Chain A
Amino acid sequence: ETGVTQSPTHLIKTRGQQVTLRCSSQSGHNTVSWYQQALGQGPQFIFQYYREEENGRGNFPPRFSGLQFPNYSSELNVNALELDDSALYLCASSLVRLSSGANVLTFGAGSRLTVL
């Protein structure tokens, strides 16, 4: 089975620009979530998509938006980039369980964004 793949792996933008990051979920997974990991910190939840709709959001402003496509791939869009947006952006996929259990995520290797 294929894992979670993300593109691009690295990119550099300038303040005020817009960026789109892409993610292909693991085969068979129907939920995708995005995390921001600043240097020296743990990943922070941005939002989650299930059946192409956002069904959970962390403490991030509206200029962070996303899409999930019918094939369960996903995009993260960030508008009006700020210097503090420089971070590793991680995509993770999972399979929603009908029974209770830990929500085990499979992560991609991330896209490292640098905003100058």
Chain B
Amino acid sequence: DQQVKQNSPSLSVQEGRISILNCDYTNSMFDYFLWYKKYPAEGPTFLISISSIKDKNEDGRFTVFLNKSAKHLSLHIVPSQPGDSAVYFCVASDPNAGNMLTFGGGTRLMVKP
């Protein structure tokens, strides 16, 4: 059973426009959500996180929104830049499992110049 789902395997956006990456989860016990970015031949790198008690967290061009009732979160990147082209993973932390991280399948973002 996939507890974290990213239903869009890929997304293409024009440079300067907004990128919106979506994520759904099923486990209501998750207490933190994170987004990781992965370039080819590199490990995933932490981008931004949000606590389950908040509904928004912003860091520069990156904003994460959390809708607990819908068990849905999204990552907004604005303005998008070609260097943002990467695979983005939605990740959830489970406090009942030693803060184990559960990854979604990833969304490949392509930002076209």
Are A43 and B99 also in contact (CB < 8 A) when A103-B32, A104-B34, A104-B49 are? no
Number of A residues with CB within 8 Å of any CB on chain B: 26
Contact (Cβ within 8 A) B93 A103 = yes
Contact (Cβ within 8 A) A107 B44 = yes
Contact (Cβ within 8 A) B101 A105 = yes
- A44, A55, A109: which has the most chain B beta carbons within 10 Å? A109
**Hey, which chain B residues are within 8 Å of A106, CB to CB?**
43, 46
In the complex, whether A28 has a CB less than 8 A from a CB of chain B is no
Q: Contacts A42-B4, A45-B102, A90-B44 given; 17 further ones with Cβ under 8 A?
A: A41-B106, A42-B105, A42-B106, A43-B103, A44-B103, A48-B98, A48-B100, A56-B97, A92-B43, A101-B32, A102-B34, A102-B51, A103-B99, A105-B101, A107-B44, A109-B42, A109-B43
Interface residues of A (CB under 8 A from B): 4, 33, 35, 40-45, 48, 55-56, 58, 90, 92, 100-110
